[in-house]
Amino acid sequence: MGILDFLQAADNLKWVLRVGWLLRGIPSATAENVAAHSHSVTVIAYLLARLTGEKVDIERIFLMAMFHDLPESRLGDIPRDPTEELQEFFDVKREAENQVMSSLIGELPSKLRPPLEEAWKDYQGQSSREALIVEAADRLANVLHALQLVQAGRSPKSLFKDFIEPAEKAVAALNTPAIDKIMKELRRLIGL
């Protein structure tokens, strides 16, 4: 039953809208869902990993990118923006995510658990190069989606100014000129 629960949780992400877009007035028909976001993060993370030119664990990157928002299948999407200013709320959110993830992983057969547990802990702790790559991919995915909305005329660029700085910070942590160039081009294209 554990594998089926895990698969259903992953599949449920198709129905969980990303609240940050809704808070910015993006209609639910246009707002991104968590599954689409996770897919984008996975693609971006793979490319960033290759652009660094470093030897990194691609499987670990894939696991982090694909499942970094899996707890949202049970908790819903809680955007980062308000939680970063309220540390106590952020701590409660993180603990709830850890409990959900522990429960989902804990029901899997023992041979499937270790890589998922390790990837989750690593991403939460931002303790490896792989975790930093996925964090940068997560932030870049937000900027890319914002750019699509702006270019399609669905939203003013001013709504997304607060996406740029966190993305630039995450990209800067990678210290890779090719990735810095992507961030600069995104900033130029979005016009901020």
190 — pLDDT class (breaks 50, 70, 90): confident
Mean pLDDT of the chain: 92
Report residue 154's pLDDT band, with 50, 70 and 90 as the boundaries. Answer: confident
As beta bridge partners, residue 17 has 33
pTM for the full predicted model: 0.93
Could you give the CA distance from residue 94 to residue 104 in angstroms, rounded to a whole number? 15
* pLDDT confidence of residue 171: 97
* Confidence check: pLDDT of 3 > 60: yes
For residue range 73-83, list pLDDT tens digits in order.
999 998 776 55
How large is the average pLDDT for residues 75-104? 83
Domain ranges of the chain: 2-190
Q: At the top level of CATH, which class does the domain 2-190 belong to?
A: mainly alpha
Q: Is the pLDDT of residue 150 over 70?
A: yes
Distance CA 77, CA 34 (A): 8
Question: Is the confidence at residue 57, as pLDDT, over 90?
Answer: yes
pLDDT, average across residues 52-76: 96
**Which residues is 33 bridged to in the sheet?**
17
